[in-house]
Amino acid sequence: MASTNQNQAGEPATDGRADYDYQGDEVERPDMVDDLEGIVDGDVRFDEYSRELYATDASAYEVLPIGVVFPTSTEDVSAVVSYCAEREIPVLPRGGGTSLAGQAVNEAVVLDFSRFMNGIVDVDPEGRRARARAGITLGELNRTLEPHGLKFAPDPSTADRSALGGAIGNNTTGAHSLKYGKTDAYVEEVEAVLSDGSVHTFGEIEIEELRERADPDGDLVERIHAEVVRIIDEEGDAVEEAYPSIKRNVSGYNLDVLIEEARGKGATEEGTVNLARLLVGSEGTLAIVTEAEVSLEPIPETKALGLLTYHSLLDAMEDVGAILEHDPAAVEVLDGVLLELARDLEEFKDVVGILPDETDTFLLVEFYADGDEERRESVETLLADRVGDVAFDGLSAFDPDEQKAFWKMRKASTPILLSRTTDEKHIAFIEDIAIPPEHLPEYTADFQQVFEDHDTFGSFYAHAGPGCMHVRPLVNTKTTEGVETMVSISDAATDLAVKYGGSVSGEHGDGRARTQWNKKLYGERLWEVFRDLKTAFDPDWLLNPGSVCGDFDMSENLRHDPDYEFEAGFEPRLNWENENGFQGMAELCHGCGGCRTSQEGAGGVMCPTYRASREEITSTRGRANMLRQAMSGDLPEEQFASEFMQEVMELCIGCKGCARDCPSEVDMAKLKVELTHEHHERHGVDLRSRVFANIDALSDLGSATAPVSNWLQRLPGSGILTEKTLGIARERSLPEFHAETLTEWFEERGPRVSEEDADRKALLFPDAFTDHNSPDAGKAAIRVLEAAGVHVKIPDGVTGSGRPAYSKGMIEKARTQADRNVTALAHYVNDGWDVVVVEPSDAVMFQLDYLDLLSGDAVERLAQNTYGVMEYVDRFRLDEGMAFADVGESLTYHGHCHQKAIKKEHHAVGVLRRAGYEVDPLDSGCCGMAGSFGYEAEHYSMSQAIGSVLFDQIDSSDGERVVAPGSSCRSQIGDEYDEKPPHPVRKLADALA
C-alpha cells in the first residue's frame, strides 16, 4: 500500500501540497551545504533561521543545531551519516519534535524525517503487520490501518504529530499500557543506518547465529554482535537485579528485554533475541531507524468510561489498587491544579463543568468490551463498587463524543499546564517517574513533601494505573534559584524512584533532563555497560551524543535560563490581558507540536499552512519560535521587524485556529497583528494592503458604478493587469457588486414587524460583503428574523467592522472604526437591542477583537450582545415558532474558522436540522481564502493547497449542496466547483413555509 505522501521509491510527494519557496538568510558553513546538496536528493538548510527553528522541541531545552537535512530516502540518510562520520560531525534524527526530555535537540546535523520519509510501505492484515517509514505519524499510521480493524497499539497523547521513528527512539507507550505495554513489544524489524553510514536490518536472530557473527575485532556489525553476546553472557544477572520490575520503564538501554528474551528458553537451550528491540528507547544514540515493521492489535469493538471523583489526590491514589481489580484498559488521573487551569480555558471549561463542584481530583477509567451490554456492565460494576467508599461520586460516559471530550482534556494535560503566561512554568523534568502502582499513595505523599520542602507545588496527572503519573512542579528557570530548585527536586525525585522500586522515566525518555540520573538508578556497573554498548554501535559517539549514558547536565541549555532576556523592541498597541502581556503570549508556545497535525483525517482547525506545506516555519510553533528568538537575542537585533519575519507572519492566515486547537491557547493571529503593525510603522504600508484595508470604501464605489464595475472585471487582460498593479492573483474571480445595496433595499422596503409587536429587536449590521456583494444573504436573514417575530432595523452611523484593516495590521484604523461602531450602537444595546451580523468574521470582530482594541463597559456590552445570524436564531430558539416546508434536501456544512475559534460554528447545524435538512458538518479547517490572503498572487498556490483539504472533505460528503456562512469560503468553494454555495441563512429562508 503506497503512502499518500510519498511514493514507493521514497521520493518527495507531488500530491498538491504547497511548494513553499523557503528562502533563508545567510547560510552557515557553505562548503558543507554544497557537499551535502551534491549527495542527497532532499533539502539541505544551514541558514540561521532553519537552525533556530530546530533548536527546540517540546522540552525546556534549546540547542542550536549545525544544520538541517530533509532526507527523502534511506540512501539520503546513509549519505549524510557517511559524510559526517568522515568529518566527526554529530548527527541527530528527529520526527515531530515532540520530545519532552530534550533528546530531539543537539549540536548536530538534524535529520527531519517528517517531511518526506513519512509513508506506509506495506500492510499485511492477515499477519497483523505493517511496514512504514520513520517519519509517518502514529495517527496517520492508524488511520491507514483502521479499515482493516487494526492499530499500532501504543497511543501517546501526541499521536497525531509523533513520528513512528520517535516512538521507537523513545520506546513510547500511552494511556492504555495496562493492556498493550510499550513500543518494544511491537517492533519486529528495523532498517537502520549505522554510525559509519552503512545500512543494516535488525530483527529476530538466533543466539547461536549471533555468536557466529560476533567478532570484537571485526567490522562494525560484527563488533555490535560481539558486545551484545558479552552482555548476554556476562551481565544478565546484573541487569535482572538492577532493572525495576514494572511495566513502565524506558530509562537507559533496553537490556532487560534483551536478557529476558535470551533467557526465555532456559539455561540449557538457547533461543532467539530481537536486536530491533535493543534499538527501541535508544533515542537515536545507537543507530538511525529509517523504516520499521511493527505488529498490530485489533481495534476494540467498543469502549466505555467511568469517572470517579474525589475530594483529594491522595484519596484517588488510595483507590487505584481496587480499581485495577476490575481489569480496566486505562486508569488516568487529573488533579485539582490541572482542573483549575482547564476551567479557565475556552476549550475545556464545558468538560470540567460536567464534574461535581467539589471535585478536586478524578480518575478516568476506560474499559474495552465486545458489545454494549458488556461495556455498560463494566462501568456500572465499577461505580457500584467504588462510589461511596473513597470516591464520593461517579459518572459514566458511553457516548463517543462525550468520551472524546474527556480524553481530549486528558491528552491536552501537558499543554494545559503550560498555558500559564507567567515566568513560572510547569516544565517537564521529572514528569514521568514510574513506580509499582501499589506504592502510589505513599509515593504521592512523599512527593508532595518534596514540593513543600522546596516551597512550590505541582500537578499530578496521567497514567495512575501503571504507576506512571506525570508530575509537573512550578518553577522559574529564569532565575538561578529556580534552576537550583529544579535540580534539587529532580535529585529528590530520583531517590523516591529508587526507594519504591521504580524508574526515573516511564515514558518520555532520558534526554537532557534525566540522563544524569541513570547512574544513580542503575549503578556504576550498568552505567559502564551502557557506555560500552554505545561505543560498540557508535565508536566516535557521533549519534545524538550526550543522551542516555552521556554527559548531559539537566541545568544547561535551558530555553529560559537566568541569562534569558526578552525585549519586544516596540510598544504593543493591543490590549493584552494575560499575565506578562505581549511577552507572556510570545513565550507561551512550549513546542508540543499540536499545530503540526498534517493529515486530512486528523480534523480540527490548526494549522492550515503547515498542513499544506509540512514546513516547520509555517506552523504556529515555528512562527512562535521565530518571534521569541527574535526578541530574546537569539536572532540578530531588530529581526522581529525584518522582511523575513514579515514573510513568516504573512503565512499566518489569521484563521484563529490556534486560539481553539492549541491547548495552551497561543494566539498567533493576534501576535501577527502586532508584528504587522510594527512593520508598517517602520517600513510603511504597501498599496495592496491599503486597498484591502479600505475595502468598505471601494465597495461603495463598486456598487455605485455597477454594472460597469463588474464589466471591467471581466474584460480580457483585466486579471493580468490587476496582478501586475496590485498583486492580486489573475486566477481569482473577484466579487461582483450589486447596484442596489442591502441598505438601500431595506430603506425602501422597511421593517415588516413593528417594534410594538416584536418579541425581540435586532440591528442587522451591514457588513461590506453582505451589503454590496451578497445582499441576498442579508435579505434572507431579514426574512428569517421577521418570520420569528423580530423587529429588524439596519442602523445608521456605522462604518465597516474594521476586520479588513485589523487583518492587515492597521491597528489605529481598525480602532477608529471600532470606536465609531461602539458609539453608534451602544445606546441601542442599552435599550435592549441585539446586534446581528451575517458575515462570520465581522461578527467575531465585534464579539472578540473589539476587546483587544477598546476598553470599557460599552464595548463589553456590545460584544456580549452581538450574534452571528444563525447563532442568534439558535441561541434564542427563534425557529421554534416558524413553519417549515418539507425540504427533503441534504447539505454539507463548512463552518467559518473564526466561528470555530470561539465555538460558535455549531449553531447553523442545529437550526438547519430543525428546519428539516439533513446536515453533514465537516470537521474542516480554514478554506484557504482567509479574507484577502487567497487573492494575493504570491499566496495563491498556498491558498489552493489549503483548500484542497476542504475540497477532499466536500467530495467525500453525501450532502447534495454545500452551504458556508463565510464570504471568503463561498468564493474559494465557488472557484473550485464553478458554483458559489449559499449562506446557510438562505437555505433557512428557503425552508420557510
The pLDDT of residue 16: 37
Q: How confident is the model at residue 415 (pLDDT cuts 50, 70, 90)?
A: low
User: What is the DSSP-derived secondary structure letter of residue 738?
Assistant: P
CA distance 435 to 440: 7
Q: How confident is the model at residue 9 (pLDDT cuts 50, 70, 90)?
A: very low
- Per residue in 918-962, pLDDT (tens digit) is 999 999 989 999 989 999 999 999 999 999 989 999 999 999 999
Side chain identity, residue 565: E
- Per residue in 286-311, pLDDT (tens digit) is 999 999 999 999 999 999 999 999 99
| Contact between 323 and 378 (Cβ < 8 Å) | no
- Per residue in 27-49, pLDDT (tens digit) is 567 789 999 999 999 999 999 88
Instruction: Of 941, 931, 339, 983, give the one whose Cα is nearest residue 656.
Output: 931
CA distance 426 to 471: 9
Percent above pLDDT 70 for the chain? 96
State the distance between the two ends of the chain, measured CA to CA, in whole angstroms.
52
Q: How confident is the model at residue 600 (pLDDT cuts 50, 70, 90)?
A: low
**pLDDT greater than 50 at residue 645:** yes
- What's the rounded mean pLDDT across residues 92-108? 95
Question: Which of 267-281, 476-490, 643-657 ranks highest by mean pLDDT?
Answer: 476-490
Strands 288-295 and 330-334: unpaired
Length in residues, the chain: 993
The pLDDT of residue 132: 98
> Which residues, in sequence order, are bridge partners of residue 129?
124, 295
> Which residues, in sequence order, are bridge partners of residue 187?
294
- Per residue in 444-470, pLDDT (tens digit) is 999 999 999 999 998 898 899 999 989
Which of 95-99, 315-319, 899-903 shows the lowest mean pLDDT across its residues? 899-903
| Contact between 110 and 65 (Cβ < 8 Å) | yes
* Cβ count within 10 A of residue 914: 17
| Contact between 541 and 474 (Cβ < 8 Å) | no
- Per residue in 710-745, pLDDT (tens digit) is 888 888 888 898 889 888 999 998 889 999 999 999
The pLDDT of residue 814: 96
- Per residue in 570-590, pLDDT (tens digit) is 899 999 988 889 999 998 888
CA distance 797 to 825: 9
Instruction: Of 533, 448, 579, 597, give the one whose Cα is nearest residue 138.
Output: 597
Side chain identity, residue 331: V
Strands (E), 311-348: 330-334
Residue 209, all three cell numbers: 547465529
- Per residue in 791-816, pLDDT (tens digit) is 999 999 999 999 999 999 999 999 99
The b/e string for 311-332 (b: 16+ C-beta within 10 A; e otherwise) is eebbbbbbbbeebbebebbbbb
Q: Give the CA distances from residue 451 to residues 23, 456, 459, 492, 680, in Å, rounded to whole numbers and listed in that order.
A: 47, 5, 10, 10, 48
**pLDDT greater than 60 at residue 910:** yes
The pLDDT of residue 907: 95
SS3 content of the chain, % helix, strand, coil (to 5): 45, 15, 40
